[in-house]
Amino acid sequence: MKHILIERQPSGVAETEGFMSWPSTVLTTIEQEWREDLDRPGGESNNSCVPSGKYKLIPHTRDKDDKKVVALVNEDLGVYYLKGDRPVEGGRYLILCHIANWSFNVTGCIGPGIGKADSDKGPMVTSSKAAMKKLMDYIDGDDAELEIRWI
């Protein structure tokens, strides 16, 4: 199984920045800030960064643009693959790692980048398309796990 690590820290009022790594590769990441949901684990659906923990990565093709991405799953943390997989009430689903340069490009997902920059739109990751290609090439259809932790 391939192991990928994201180490992150609260970075601003609207974003969480981090570093994604695996052997010989370090990328940057951007997510929304943490927003707790007091009624269920996993943070606020579509409005929060991904909770810390270990996730199985599942290959997924996005309906809206046919892009190949990965979905994160850890049912113990209230994170499910599809809407129908979750309990009747609550839980997050379709948390993806996909192309995104700013935190407003992700709705509870993770955007990888090659580097970081400040822009007139706020903090961002750069070359997200290239970073996503690196991630997908590394996984290459193999079983993979993503560990996310705060530093």
Convert the pLDDT of each residue in 30-41 to its tens digit: 999 988 888 877
The CA-atom distances, in angstroms, between 138 and each of 18, 96, 133 are: 19, 16, 8
- Integer-rounded Cα Rg, in Å, for the chain is 14
Backbone phi, then psi, for 129, in 5-degree steps?
-60, -45
- Environment class of residue 145 by beta-carbon count within 10 Å: exposed (0-12), middle (13-18) or buried (19+)? middle
Q: What is the pTM of this model?
A: 0.95
pLDDT tens per residue across span 70-123: 999 999 999 999 999 988 677 899 999 999 999 999 999 999 999 999 999 999
31 touches 49 (CB < 8 A):
yes
Residues in the chain: 151
Would you place residue 69 in the very low, low, confident or very high pLDDT band (cuts 50, 70, 90)? very high
What 3-state class would DSSP assign to 70?
A: strand
Query: Cβ of 54: how many Cβ atoms within 10 Å?
Result: 15
Average pLDDT estimate for 131-148: 97
20 phi/psi in degrees, rounded to 5: -105, 130
d(CA 106, CA 128): 12
Spell out the domain ranges in the chain.
2-146
Average pLDDT over residues 42-60: 92
- Compute the average pLDDT of residues 129-137: 98
Q: How far apart are CA 29 and CA 50, in angstroms?
A: 12
Higher pLDDT, 21 or 45: 21
CA atoms within 13 A on the CB side of 122: 15
φ and ψ at residue 127, rounded to 5 degrees: 50, 50
Interatomic CA distance for residues 151 and 136, integer angstroms: 25
